[in-house]
């Protein structure tokens, strides 16, 4: 970048769909640039685009800034900022407002987005201390005739306009900030004075704490001397010695009580064992007497045990014999039933041959009637479909008629819009020219007001030359007002035509949307008419078939019932093979059972003989049962003889051991009682308790003093 370029601010502007520009790029060069051209060429538009993009200033609505007939527009402005780097500011607009507003760095991408961020970036990078829109209105984009008007304003208004521009505001702000710093230092000095006062009090408090620590150390030494005089260990040893002796005496007394209890229990058990031994010896004598009856009972029991299975087997075979006899009779009965069934089936076979043709005819007629009924139902549905289709076709044709009417209306509207086009194209130029005239009239009126009293706007003194200027200015005002009046009349007429064109465009868009379905509607009507022809052909075919219904019903009445009878007989006759097979099986089974019955003859005789022998043996067993139970009872008792004799000897030996142990325990208890005093033991315990409490109390005081000392030292 050269020296000249470093002061360049604007590089290039591109206008897309803005006022009279469709897509135009304008390049700026170092130094002074002039924008020249005829009236309405778009010179003011370039300045307005710069103000709108760089300073967020636009003197009218955004919708009036767009090119006529366009819905969106764009402004791309390349600038050099105070860091001597090139940036691109992009503002995209629509009829409703700004849709995108951003600052883009070619190296780092987007650096600001949205009105707030973009304006902050402009203020920072162009060192502006004034609102961007105000800066543009009063410094850069000052309208014609307004350049000198600011100097004619009162001093207060001139101050508000020029102070931010000349940088006077910066000095005012600096002065205000210096006052804030002065207040800050005053507050700081006040805080330091308060801190010094607190530190002086802390030094005085330190001396008090040091004195307190000395007193606590002295008190701790005195208590430690008292603690050294207390002798707990010697008394504790004497108490421990007496505790051991008392514990030994208590243990020996418990052991003596346990030994005495065991001794008494042993003596009692010896007496019981001696009684049981006498009973066992008596039982031995009685066993010899019951030996014969016991043997008879055992032999009878053994033989019964052998005969019971034989009896069960014979009873089982006897039951089989009875069951086979019953089964034989049942089979005879079943054979007779099957033979009767076969006779019935043969009769039904003959009947089937007679009614089969009539049953076939009934079946065929029922199928024919069902088909006709189905045709009737289909016919009813088809007639409903035919009616519905006719109604739909009528509705669709009405819709088609409306679309064709709309097509004619659309052609008329397009012709009218073409006629309005030249007048509407003049509107943008008139709007721009009208805005300029109004601004010029406003400026001229203000200047005229200043000149009314023959006062020079710069020197604030009377001036005779002002009178001629005032009259000239008045004539200029009259000419401008006359031109503006004519222009307003033209604007009203063109605005009316413009509104009409907007309404026509809206109506055209609406009608174009409404006629779009025409081709689809024509196709749909053709398809529905084709479907209707097909349905009508089917209706004609089905009407012929339905006319046969009455004749079929009359024929069906003459053969009604034969098919059901035929089907029932057929089902019964189909069981013939099953019945024949069943008969064969029954006759075979009858022959087999007859052979088995022959084999089982004589079983009942053997069963009676076995039962009689068992009854005799049961009688013998019952006669000797009491002697048998007594023998078993005594034998069990007699079997304990050896165990009881051994147990008696063990108990007598244990009794002697217990007598010896008791004598030894008594001797030891007497020896301990000679050296132990219960009263002395109690007094020593109380003394030890007092010494421990005293020692704990003094140690607690020492700990409390140490804690207090630590707290004071921490505070110090």
CA distance 26 to 37: 14
CATH number of residue 91's parent domain: 3.40.50.300
Neighbours of 350 (CB within 10 A): 8
Mean pLDDT value of segment 452-461: 59
In angstroms, the CA 714 to CA 716 distance is 5
**pLDDT at residue 137, rounded to an integer:** 67
Residue 139 DSSP label:
I
What is each CA distance from 230 to 16, 223, 449, 649, 699, in whole angstroms? Answer: 110, 11, 118, 65, 12
- Assign 481 a pLDDT band (cuts: 50, 70, 90): confident
3-state secondary structure of 83: coil
Query: Which DSSP category does 491 fall into?
Result: H
Count of structural domains, the chain = 2
**Of 497, 512, 543, which residue sits at a domain end?**
543
Per-residue pLDDT at 645: 79
* 687 pLDDT more than 50: yes
pLDDT for the residue numbered 127: 75
Nearest in space to 91 (alpha carbons), one of 118, 63, 127, 130:
118
Integer CA distances (angstroms), 413 to 390, 427, 519, 682, in order? 35, 21, 22, 132
pLDDT tier, 6 (very low <50, low <70, confident <90, very high otherwise): very low
Burial zone of 502 (CB within 10 Å; 0-12 exposed, 13-18 middle, 19+ buried): exposed
Would 116 be classed as within a structural domain?
Answer: yes
- DSSP label of 136: I
pLDDT at 203 over 60: yes
Q: What is the pLDDT of residue 5?
A: 41
- Out of 191-195, 201-205, 504-508, 652-656, pick the least confident: 201-205
- 177 pLDDT more than 70: no
Least confident of 29-38, 350-359, 516-525: 350-359
pLDDT tier at 386, thresholds 50, 70, 90: confident
Select the highest-mean-pLDDT range: 13-17, 406-410, 616-620: 13-17
Contacts of 192 (CB under 8 A, 6+ apart): none
> What is the pLDDT, as a whole number, of residue 541?
74
CB atoms within 10 A of CB 17: 19
Mean per-residue pLDDT, 433-444: 80
* pLDDT above 90: residue 616: no
Question: At 3, is the pLDDT very low, low, confident or very high (cuts 50, 70, 90)?
Answer: very low
Compute the average pLDDT of residues 464-470.
66
The most confident of 48-57, 168-177, 602-611, by mean pLDDT: 48-57
Contacts (Cβ under 8 Å, ≥6 apart) of 411: none
- Upper half-sphere CA count for residue 107 (Cβ side, 13 Å): 2
Which of 3-17, 28-42, 116-130, 482-496 has the lowest average pLDDT?
3-17
Task: Give residues with Cβ within 8 angstroms of 183, minimum separation 6.
Answer: none
Residue whose structure tokens are 């089936």: 345
Which residue matches tokens 């606590």? Answer: 216
Whether 2 shows a pLDDT value over 50: the answer reads no
pLDDT of residue 434: 78
Q: What is the pLDDT of residues 497-555, one digit of tens each?
A: 888 888 888 888 888 788 888 788 888 888 888 887 888 888 777 777 677 777 767 77
Percent of the chain whose predicted confidence (pLDDT) is above 90: 7
How big is the chain by its Cα radius of gyration, in Å?
A: 69
Of 117, 141, 165, the position where a domain reaches its end is: 141
Give me the domain span that covers residue 536.
293-543
In a domain, 634, yes or no: no
Q: Would 234 be classed as within a structural domain?
A: no
Q: What's residue 13's pLDDT?
A: 95
Residue 157 has pLDDT above 70, yes or no: no
- Is 383 within the bounds of a domain? yes
* Residue range 135-153, pLDDT digits in tens: 776 667 666 655 555 565 6
DSSP string, 172-239: HHHHHHHHHHHHHHHHHHHHHHHHHHHHHHHHHHHHHHHHHHHHHHHHHHHHHHHHHH---HHHHHHH
Residue 112 is predicted with a pLDDT of 92
pLDDT one-digit tens code per residue, 246-303: 888 788 888 888 888 888 888 888 888 777 777 777 777 777 777 777 777 778 788 7
Question: What integer pLDDT is reported at residue 92 of this predicted model?
Answer: 95
**39 part of a folded domain:** yes
Of the residues 484, 512, 543, which one is the last residue of a structural domain?
543
Identify the band that residue 676 occupies on the pLDDT scale cut at 50, 70 and 90. confident
User: What's the mean pLDDT when you consider all of the chain?
Assistant: 78
Indicate if the pLDDT at residue 4 is higher than 50: no
User: Residue 490 pLDDT more than 90?
Assistant: no
Look at residue 26 in the predicted model and tell me its pLDDT. 92
Provide the 3-class DSSP secondary structure of residue 91.
Answer: strand
Share of the chain above pLDDT 70, in %: 86
**Could you tell me if 657 and 233 are in contact, meaning their C-beta atoms sit under 8 angstroms apart?**
no
């Amino acid at each position: 970048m050269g020296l000249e370029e470093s002061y360049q601010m604007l590089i290039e502007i591109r206008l897309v769909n803005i006022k009279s520009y469709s897509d135009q790029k304008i390049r700026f060069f170092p130094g002074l640039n002039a924008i020249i051209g005829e009236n309405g060429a778009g010179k003011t538009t370039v300045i307005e685009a710069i103000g709108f993009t760089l300073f967020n200033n636009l003197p009218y609505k955004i919708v009036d800034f767009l090119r006529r007939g366009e819905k969106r527009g764009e402004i791309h402005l390349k600038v050099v900022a105070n860091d001597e780097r090139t940036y691109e500011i992009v503002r995209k607009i629509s009829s409703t407002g700004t849709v995108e507003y951003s600052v883009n760095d070619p190296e780092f991408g987007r650096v600001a987005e949205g009105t707030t961020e973009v304006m902050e970036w402009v203020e920072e990078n162009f060192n502006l201390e004034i609102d961007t829109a105000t800066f543009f209105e009063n410094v850069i984009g000052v309208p014609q005739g307004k350049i000198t008007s600011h100097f004619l304003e009162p001093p207060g208004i001139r101050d508000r306009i020029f102070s931010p521009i000349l940088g006077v505001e910066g000095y005012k702000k600096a002065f205000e900030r210096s006052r804030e710093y002065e207040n800050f230092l005053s507050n700081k000095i006040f805080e330091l004075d308060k801190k010094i006062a607190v530190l002086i009090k802390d030094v005085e408090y330190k001396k008090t704490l040091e004195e307190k620590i000395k007193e606590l150390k002295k008190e701790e030494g005195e208590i430690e001397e008292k603690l050294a005089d207390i002798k707990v260990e010697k008394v504790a040893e004497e108490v421990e010695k007496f505790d051991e002796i008392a514990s030994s005496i208590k243990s020996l007394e418990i052991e003596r009580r346990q030994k005495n209890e065991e001794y008494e229990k042993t003596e009692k058990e010896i007496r019981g064992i001696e009684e049981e031994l006498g009973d066992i010896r008596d039982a031995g004598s009685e066993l010899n007497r019951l030996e014969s009856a016991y043997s008879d009972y055992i032999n009878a029991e053994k033989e019964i045990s052998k005969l019971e299975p034989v009896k069960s087997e014979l009873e089982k075979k006897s039951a089989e014999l009875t069951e086979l006899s019953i089964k034989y009779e049942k089979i005879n009965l079943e054979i007779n039933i099957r033979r009767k069934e076969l006779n019935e089936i043969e009769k039904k076979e003959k009947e089937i041959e007679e009614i089969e043709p009539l049953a076939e005819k009934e079946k065929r007629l029922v199928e024919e009637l069902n088909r006709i009924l189905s045709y009737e139902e289909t016919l009813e549905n088809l007639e409903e479909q035919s009616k519905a289709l006719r109604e739909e076709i009528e509705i669709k044709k009405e819709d088609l008629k409306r679309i064709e009417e709309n097509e004619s209306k659309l052609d008329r509207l397009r012709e009218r819009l073409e006629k309005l086009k030249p007048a509407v194209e003049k509107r943008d130029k008139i709007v721009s020219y009208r805005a300029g005239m109004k601004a010029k009239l406003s400026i001229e009126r203000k200047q005229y007001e200043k000149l009314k009293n023959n006062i020079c706007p710069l020197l604030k003194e009377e001036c005779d030359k002002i009178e001629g200027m005032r009259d000239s200015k008045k004539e200029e005002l009259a000419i401008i007002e006359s031109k503006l009046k004519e222009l307003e009349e033209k604007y009203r007429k063109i605005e009316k035509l413009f509104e009409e064109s907007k309404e026509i465009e809206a109506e055209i868009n609406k009608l174009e949307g409404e006629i779009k379905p025409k081709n689809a509607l024509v196709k749909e009507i053709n398809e529905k008419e084709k479907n209707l022809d097909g349905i009508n052909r089917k209706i004609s075919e089905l009407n012929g078939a339905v006319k046969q219904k009455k004749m079929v019903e009359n024929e069906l009445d003459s053969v009604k019932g034969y098919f059901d009878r035929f089907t029932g007989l057929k089902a019964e006759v189909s069981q013939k093979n099953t019945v024949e097979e069943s008969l064969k099986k029954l006759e075979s089974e009858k022959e087999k059972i007859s052979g088995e019955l022959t084999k089982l003859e004589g079983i009942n005789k053997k069963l009676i003989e076995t039962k009689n022998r068992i009854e005799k043996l049961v009688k013998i067993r019952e006669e000797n049962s009491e002697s048998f139970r007594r023998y078993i009872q005594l034998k069990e008792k007699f079997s304990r003889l050896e165990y009881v004799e051994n147990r008696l000897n063990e108990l007598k030996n244990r009794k002697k051991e217990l007598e010896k142990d008791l004598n030894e325990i008594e001797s030891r208890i007497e020896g301990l009682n000679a050296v132990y005093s219960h009263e002395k033991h109690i007094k020593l315990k109380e003394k030890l308790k007092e010494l421990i409490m005293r020692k704990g109390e003094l140690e607690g005081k020492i700990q409390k003093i140490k804690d207090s000392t630590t707290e004071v030292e921490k505070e110090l």
